[in-house]
Structures are given as structure tokens and as C-alpha cells.
Structure 1
Amino acid sequence: MRFGTRVLLLQLVTVVAVVAASAGVFIVLGVEQLKHETETSALSIARTVASAPVVRSEVTRETSRGINPSAAELADGPLQAYARDVTGRTGALFVVITDGEGIRMAHPDPGQLDRQVSTSFEAALRGEEVIAWERGTLGDSVRAKVPVFAPGTEEPVGEVSVGFERAGVFDDLPQLLLGVGAAAAAALLIGIGATLVLRRRWEQLTLGVQPEELVVLVQNQAAVLDGVGDGVIALDESGVIRVSNSEAEKMFGRVQLEGMSLGDLDLPEDVIRSLEKGEARDGVVVGGRVLYLDSRQVDRGGQRLGSVIILRDRTDVMGLSRRLDSVRTMTSALRVQRHEFANRMHVAAGLVESGRGEEAAEFLRTMRDRGPVDYPLAGADLLTEPFLQSFLGAKSLEADERGVQLLIRDETLVLGSLEGVEGVEDTATVLGNLVDNAVTAALQAPEPRLVEVTLMDDGPDLVLMVADSGPGTAAGTGAVAAPPADDETEETAVDRVHGHGIGLALSRDLLRRRGGELWLIDPGGGASGRGAVFGARLPGVMATGVAGQSRNSREEDE
């Protein structure tokens, strides 16, 4: 049996029991009320009769004579007439008047006159009032007995007894029972109706799911929310977050998401609109994290319940992708370098073997001046650090294929060398991202398309600046702007000229972890006619001490 059916039956039994108990109580109270009203009526009539002057005087006179009158005399006497009149007006079963010896002086049955009453009269002669349910010559009745006092005294000289038939007491009982029954039936119907409405409402709220199934649902929900590595957010129809897991709270940097809306999570308006339509969005930057958000509508039984948003943190993936791109760039540069170096060695070896020593020496000097690989990197001789020279050389090859020239500015001075695998990878990620974005921006402007790079080491820190000849950052696009990247107010949302902000967010997050900074030196554009200039500081990536010299210094020493 379903739980809802069991609850319905239990409620029905409870309603029936309560109604039955209430009806029983009302019936008992009604019967007692009818009895009390009859007793009160009998006592009031008896008191009225006993206080009548004719009754007091006649009973006192007959009691004082000591001679009992005959039944015929009593039947024609004033007391009999008075009692009959009261009986007719009040609807009582009898009105009996006795003297001090209990002899009837008035009775509905004239044949009972001049006889002693069949019930006790001693209490009345002691001056007490008595109400009793007794059986007399006229059958069972409720009667009230009161004393008759002599005129002007408090001396009992007789008794007045007024009775109502027992059956007549409950003449109004059927009507009372009908009213109580009708009220009980109405209460029962109301209870049944309320139970049915409550059951229907319950099933609507629980979507027909029984409590046993709700327990399983809660267990499954806890297992799903806490057992997956993705963030999960459930919203109701009004867009308020009702359920979230710890991963979602970690991604948004909040302790409690329940009760908030998507607008409270600092999401861009276009992202919120897409999620409300049930669309997925990738590359959403929130708090230095790159997120993938997939929204799905939830329906059950044709009723829309809200939506569920799945969040995946793509920050690490994007970071690894950037580093993989850097490794690929370095690998490509090394492959080109190896191939070019091998070709040059073949040329030098051929000149030597053919006895053309002077030409071979000149060729080797040219190789020394031009560097190991003939990169289309203007100003490459200003940079002697091997990795930076190879990396920017490879980037210059890529830029040259796209029609952009990569230039090392004269202000460049790097005396040290990069230290450690992590330092090399982080430098490649930040520098590669800025150069790629600058090349993309330069493509938006007419020729000549140029990207300028300036690198300087400051002890263990590497400071770099990247400028482009593009149109500059558009106002309000949300590119990284001054002050430095430790300012929590800066955004890295979307700059359609300098990329989609994901690389900048990764670079900023990487630099924050290292204690560095990334900022926009000059937004460019407008009347300036210049492109944007970005700057970055990478702490702790350079080896201590002087690991190399500039090419110009070595030439002067030679």
C-alpha cells in the first residue's frame, strides 16, 4: 500500500474517531441539559404553587384541624381546582398538594384524594427541597418536592410535589440527536475533503514521489553532488539557486550559494542569457578561472522544475594547453635550428674540403654574426638568452607567415638566463600569450603590421613589455587594465581585438601564484594612433648571477 493511501486512511480513521467522540459528548451533554431543564421547571412550578396564598392558607387550616376531609370535599375544594389549573397550564404530569401528614389534598386522579402519598414526604416537612426520579401512582417521573409554610411563619405544614413524565423529559432528544448527527456528518465530510485536498497537494509538491522514494532521492543526490568533480548548481523556476555542491562553491569562491541568483555570481549578462535559454558557454572567466558552463532544463510530468548548470574548471586544461603550445613552439624552433645548423655545417665542411679556407672562415664569421638560425626576428642580436632567443625566433616565424613582423626593441637587456623547467614554462606561457594576442591585434590594422617586445631582467625577475600596431583595446571590452593584476576590480572578460581573454586570465592567475603582475600600460587606439602595450613581471625565473652578455659586449671584448 502506498504511503499516501496509508496516510489517507489514518486521517479518515482519526476524523471518524474524533467526530464520534465529539458526537457522544454532545449527546451526553444534551441529555443532561434536558434533565436539568425539566428538574428546574418542576422545582420552579412547585415553589410557585407552595407560595400561593390559597395553598398556604388551606393547607395550614386543614393541618391545624386534625380531621381529614373526605375525598368528595377535597375534589370540590379550592386546592384541587388550583392544582388542576396549574397542571393544565404547565403541561406537568401532576401537581400534588399534601398536608402535614402526607394526605393528598390535590391530585390529578380524584380517586387518590384523602390518601397518603406513595413516596417519602419527610424531607419537605423538614423544610427541605427535594428533586428525585421516582415511580408513583402515575408511573416514572422526575419530581420536585418543596415545603408549604404557614402564612407569616417558616413552619412547614405541608408539601407540594410537581412531576413530569420521564418519557416527556426527552421529547426534544430526537431533534437534538438530529442536530448532533448533522454536525457530525458535516465535520466528517469536511475532514474527508480536507484529507483528499491535502493528499493531492502533497503529491503535487512531491511530484508523486513517495517518502520512501524521497529518501532514496536524497541519498542519490548526496552521492551525485559530492561524488563528481564538476560543479553542480540547481535553480528553481524563478532563477534562485536551491542546490549546489562544494565544487561549485569553490569555483565561484563563495561559501554558500543557496538563495543567490546567477546575477549575484558576477557572470556577464550575455552568459546569463545563454544559460537561461539552456545553452552551453565555454571560456567564461570568473575569479581568475576559465569555466565551461552547460545549462539543462529540468521537467517532470510536463511540469518545469527549473534548470541545472554543470560547471567544469578549464583553467588547468587551458594552462596545460598553453604550455603544450609553448613546448611545440620550442620543439619547432629547435627542429628548424637543428636543420639549419646541419645545412650550414655541410656548407662549411664543403668549403674546407675543397681548400677554400678563406671563404670557409668568412662563412663561419657570418654565421656567428647572424646567429644559429636565420629567424625573421628583427633585433635578435640584442637577446642572448638561449631559450628566449629560440622561443621568440619561433614566434617570429609564425608571425611572419601571418604578415606581422616581430621586433626586439633596443631597450632589451637580459644578462641572466632562465632557471628551471617551471620558470621556462611560465615564461613561455605569459610571453607567448601576450605575443599571440599582439599579433592578432596587429592583423586588425593596415600595414606595416608590427609587434615589439622588450625584455629586461631585474635580479631574479624578468620584466617584459609587448606592444602592437593594432587599433588598441576597445573601451569597455574588459581587457586587463591598470592597476596591476592584484587589483580585484580588474576584469579579463572579452576583448575581440586582443583575443577572448582566456589567455590573459591564465597568465594573470599564473603570475598571481608566483607573486608577479600583469597590467595594461597603454590601451592605445583613438587619437594616439598606437596599439596597446602590455607589461608583465615574472619573479624568480632568472638564475642569480650573470649568465651571459649581450652580443655587442662580446664583440667589443674580441
Structure 2
Amino acid sequence: MTRTVRTRSAATTVFTDVAIVVVFVVAVLATALVLDARQAVRSDAESLTRSTSATIALAPGVASALQADPAQATARLEPMTEAMRKSTAVDFITIMTPDGIRVTHPDPTQIGKHYIGTIPATPHPLTQEVTGTLGPSVRTIAPIRVDGALVGWVSVGVTVRSITSSLLPRLPFAIAVALALLLAGLVFAFVARRTTRRLAGDLPPGGIRDAVASYESTRTLGEALRAQTHEHGNRMHTAVALIELGRADEAVEILTETARQSQELVDLVNARGTGDPAIGALLLGKAAQAREQGIEWTAQIAPETPPSGLPAVDAVAVLGNLIDNALDAAAAGGAPRWVRVELAPHDAGLVLLVSDSGDGVPAEMRERMFEHGFSTKPAGTEGRGVGLALARSVVSGAGGRIEFEPGPPTTFRVTLPGSKR
């Protein structure tokens, strides 16, 4: 039993890609908001410990109490520090002697023991994170002075656990912002999916490119054949008129020359073994289009040039767009005006060169010339902006490359791996 492999449509691909990007951006933003909130809570804790320690260090009676007996100092200072601790958002207030022996502490068993943390070598405030008897905490130690002399230290701290608890009330805001952005992003993805489906139906991504290639191939081949038909029509009318005037020899000469020019290109394509009828028809038509615009046309296909390996539609789309650009550039430039097309073997594949006598591409536009939608032509039917982008997409998909040589002359070089037939 044959299984049918179902390819995702371009609309579904757009929705999936946009949704993934939205989820990623929202996740990054939510993380940034949480980290910012955490940093803000920590900064608030540091500011609180600094201001509280400075206040206690300057409080009346603290310095004089430290100059008394340690037991008396504890009796006088412990009630004050506990009252202040309970009235503020700090977790501990420790007052100690100059050498770091605790006089006060929330845990009475720790009084008389040495302070855990850094005591500055010179009397100045210091804020740091230290793991002490109450666990990790952000704390500030500040000197207590009497007439400039150090008589003790005060350390005020907030535990990391308390900082984390303070962070929780701020999380709903970050979550709400993230959910709002996620919802907006998914709505945008849904709208993008509907718009893509309206334009492309259920075509897969590759199908859209194929459709564009088919359109471009039909367009450029149609222009070429129109020019060829117009040229042949003019020559036929001229021959008929000459016959009616009794100048049959001149009529035969015109018709013979027309047949010779066409046959030269047909022989050029078929005799080299390329076997690309669409390319032959394109070159025939573009030759007529060049003559119609007064542009000298040269097409050369070297012996042993292998087939392009591209489907006829893609081959015409690539070569046709490059020739169209060359014709436009040559027509806009000064005399002499010419376009040259060359196909030749290259390693195991082939190389295609399209050169013109135009003024070239301005340096500031060269980086963007292969972008989809970019064009130096005016907006409208002539300002397509898809030719070079499509050509690069087709060539890259076939394992080849397309390069621009600013010249002079301006040249586009397409290298393809080729195909053995």
C-alpha cells in the first residue's frame, strides 16, 4: 500500500515559524523581566541595610553603651535593636565590639561569639552577601565612632530567602506582560497564516517558488516570442510588398536572411548537444527583442556544453531574467549598446555568462540587488523586483551559485553542476 506524504503548506509553515519566534521572544522577555525584578528587589534590600546601619551607628546611646561592660551593653542595646528589626523589613541587627564580638543578635545564643563576615580594615561601610547563622544574606556593616574613634560596628542584613519572598508579588506583572505579548504574537501568526493561505492556497513553500518561476518564465518567454513574431511579421509584410512591386529578388533575400538568422541560433543550441528547446526558443526570441531595441546581440554556446540540469521553467526564468536586466541596462546606456550571452563547460557542469554595455549597478545597491522585492526599476508592471532573487533561489536550489562582476562590462555569472543525459 502506497503512503502519501503530505507536505506542510506555506501558510502552515508561516504560522509555525512565526509562533516559534513569538514564543522564543516572549520567553526571553519574561526572563529579562524576572531578572530585572530580582535585581530591583536586591537593590532595595541593599539600600535598606545601608540606611538602617547608618541610622543605628549615629543613634544616641549606642556608642556610649558599647563603652560599658559587654553584659550591660547587651542589656541596653538588645531591646532597641529587636524593636527596630521588627519595625523594619530587615532580618537581623548585630552590634559588636571593634574586634567583632557580638553584643546583640536575634539568636541570643550567638551573643558573645565572633561576627561572621568581613570587618573592614579601615572604618568604612561595606555591603556584601555572606552566609551566616541565618543563611545567605545581603548585609551592610558600618562603623560606630565617638569623636572619630572606632568603638564598635553595626551589621544590618536581609536574608536571601526574604529577598526571594519580596520578589513573588512582582511576578504577576511579568507574567501578565508575557501572556499579553504571547497572545498578540499568536494573533499576528494566525493573521499571517490566513493572509498567506489567501494568496497561496495550500501550496507548499517550494510550490510558491515554482509558481513564481512559472510566471517569470512565461513572462520572459512571452516577451521574447512577441518580439520574434513582431519582427517576422514586419519582414513578411515587407516581402509581400516587394513582391507586389515586382521586386521578388529583394523579397527572397529578406526571407532568406530571416531564415538564416533563426537557423543559426537553432543550430547553435541543438548542435552542441544541450537539448534545451526552451533555452533555444528563449534565445531566438531575445535576439529579436534585442534587434527591436537596437541592441547588438551575441549568443555563444561552446562545444560540449552539458545540459543545465534545471527544469525548463526554471532555466527560462533564470536566463530570461538575466537577459531582461541586461537588455534594460544596455538600452538605458550609451552607444555602443550590446548584450552578450555565453554558455560553456565548467568543471563537471556549466557556466552561464550574461554581459551588457550598460552603466552598471551603483555600488550602494550591489549588496541589495539579490534581495526579494528590490529593484532599480519604477514601481508597477516594469518594477518587478523578483527576478534576481528568484534566479538566486533557483540556482542555489540546484547546487549552483550566481555572482555579480561589476566590470566593465557588467556581467552576471551563473555556475551550475550540470546534468548528464
RCO (CA 8 Å, sep 6+): is it higher in 1 or 2? 2
TM-score by length of 2: 0.49
Bigger share in helix = 2
Say which one has the larger Rg: 1
TM-score by length of 1: 0.38
